[in-house]
């Protein structure tokens, strides 16, 4: 299992990197831009897939949650009303927005310097032997990989300061004896018991926060803050106490 995690986090990118370097060394130089775009799209798609998979749940789990006895519900109108009243929400989301934009900022910076980087590493690659071209293209793609590692490192630092990686606000939700599900949007589901780092509520701002512990093969361990806005935060907090597993500190 540990090998699988390491491979998905680092090994897969290295396999793709070497494959693209080989293709660039074999094909004419003009194809390099297309391979860079493909490289970015593949990893973007993989990250999106695993992010959605974390919260969508299995079909049988979703059915079981929906059929179970309802304990609590918050409708979209109620959630929107409470969100607009929460004056601190904007500042919280600003911090998350900056963190989410970091990878794109790094990519933009990389694209700006790409012509210079390409000129320095593979400007006359077509005149070299295949093996040397191959090695130079590996160096070029490794520079992209280093940029992604730096971006991830900075994101982790910001996440530790906030106490969570990302915050997700459910536009509506229904709590049953089997879990939590949302009827609008992507249809997120959470099966009980939910493994959390912390559970808390705020009477003044009218919400319950669940810092859900998630672990994926692509990104490793993450803390996703699930925010449940409600006019009765203490009641919801008390109901959820028996359905969460608080991680030992």
* pLDDT band of 54, cuts 50, 70, 90: low
For the ranges 58-62, 108-112, 173-177, the maximum mean pLDDT occurs at 173-177
Closest Cα to residue 46, out of 72, 12, 70?
Answer: 12
At CA 80, angle to CA 76 and CA 81, rounded to 5? 115
CB neighbour list of residue 44: distance below 8 Å, 6 or more residues apart: none
Q: Is residue 226 over pLDDT 90?
A: yes
Stretch 230-237: mean pLDDT? 97
What pLDDT does 238 receive?
96
175: β partners? 72, 180
* pLDDT band of 210, cuts 50, 70, 90: very high
Q: Higher pLDDT residue, 38 or 83?
A: 83
**d(C-alpha 66, C-alpha 189), whole Å:** 10
Stretch 63-92: mean pLDDT? 93
Q: Is the pTM of this model over 0.75?
A: no
CA–centroid distance for 66 within its chain: 26
What pLDDT does 185 receive?
67
Q: Is 185 left (phi over 0), alpha (psi -120 to 50) or beta?
A: left
Do residues 133 and 26 touch, judged by C-beta distance below 8 A?
A: no
Q: Using CB atoms within 10 Å of the CB of residue 202, give its burial: 0 to 12 exposed, 13 to 18 middle, 19+ buried.
A: middle
Q: Is residue 104 over pLDDT 60?
A: yes
* Edge-to-edge order in the sheet of strand 70-74: 70-74, 173-176, 179-181, 189-191
Do residues 178 and 170 touch, judged by C-beta distance below 8 A?
A: no
* pLDDT band of 112, cuts 50, 70, 90: confident
* pLDDT band of 155, cuts 50, 70, 90: confident
**d(C-alpha 138, C-alpha 89), whole Å:** 44
Q: Higher pLDDT residue, 4 or 112?
A: 112
Q: Is residue 58 over pLDDT 60?
A: no
* pLDDT band of 144, cuts 50, 70, 90: confident
- C-alpha distances in Å from residue 13, one per residue of 21, 55, 117, 239: 12, 24, 20, 43
* pLDDT band of 40, cuts 50, 70, 90: low
**d(C-alpha 40, C-alpha 141), whole Å:** 11
Sequential DSSP letters for 22-61: HHHHHS-GGGHHHHHHHHHHHHHHHHHHHHHHHHH--HHH
Q: Higher pLDDT residue, 166 or 3?
A: 166
Lowest mean pLDDT, pick from 163-172, 173-182, 191-200, 204-213 = 163-172
Q: Using CB atoms within 10 Å of the CB of residue 158, give its burial: 0 to 12 exposed, 13 to 18 middle, 19+ buried.
A: middle
156 SS3 class: helix
**d(C-alpha 43, C-alpha 46), whole Å:** 5
For the ranges 40-54, 74-88, 160-174, 179-193, the maximum mean pLDDT occurs at 74-88
Q: Is residue 41 over pLDDT 80?
A: no
What pLDDT does 24 receive?
77
Lowest mean pLDDT, pick from 5-9, 46-50, 73-77 = 5-9
What pLDDT does 199 receive?
95
- Strand 244-246 and strand 194-202: pairing? parallel
């Amino acid at each position: 299992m540990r090998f699988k995690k390491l491979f998905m986090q680092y090994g897969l990118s290295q396999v793709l990197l070497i494959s693209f370097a080989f293709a660039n060394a074999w094909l004419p130089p003009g194809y390099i831009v297309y391979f860079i775009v493909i490289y970015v799209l593949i990893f973007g798609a993989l990250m999106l897939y695993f992010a959605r998979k974390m919260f969508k749940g299995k079909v049988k789990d979703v059915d079981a949650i929906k059929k179970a006895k309802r304990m609590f519900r918050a409708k979209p109108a109620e959630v929107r009303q409470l969100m607009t009243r929460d004056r601190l929400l904007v500042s919280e989301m600003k911090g998350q927005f900056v963190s989410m934009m970091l990878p794109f900022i790094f990519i933009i910076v990389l694209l700006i310097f790409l012509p210079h980087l390409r000129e320095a590493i593979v400007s006359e690659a077509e005149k070299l032997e295949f093996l040397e071209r191959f090695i130079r293209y590996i160096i070029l793609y490794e520079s992209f990989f280093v940029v992604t590692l730096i971006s991830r490192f900075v994101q982790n630092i910001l996440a530790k300061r906030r106490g969570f990686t990302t915050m997700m606000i459910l536009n509506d939700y229904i709590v049953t004896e089997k879990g939590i599900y949302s009827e609008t949007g992507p249809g997120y589901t959470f099966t009980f018991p939910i493994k959390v780092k912390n559970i808390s509520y705020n009477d003044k701002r009218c919400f319950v926060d669940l810092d859900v512990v998630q672990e994926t093969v692509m990104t490793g361990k993450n803390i996703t803050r699930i925010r449940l806005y409600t006019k009765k935060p203490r009641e919801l907090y008390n109901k959820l106490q028996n359905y969460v597993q608080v991680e030992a500190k």
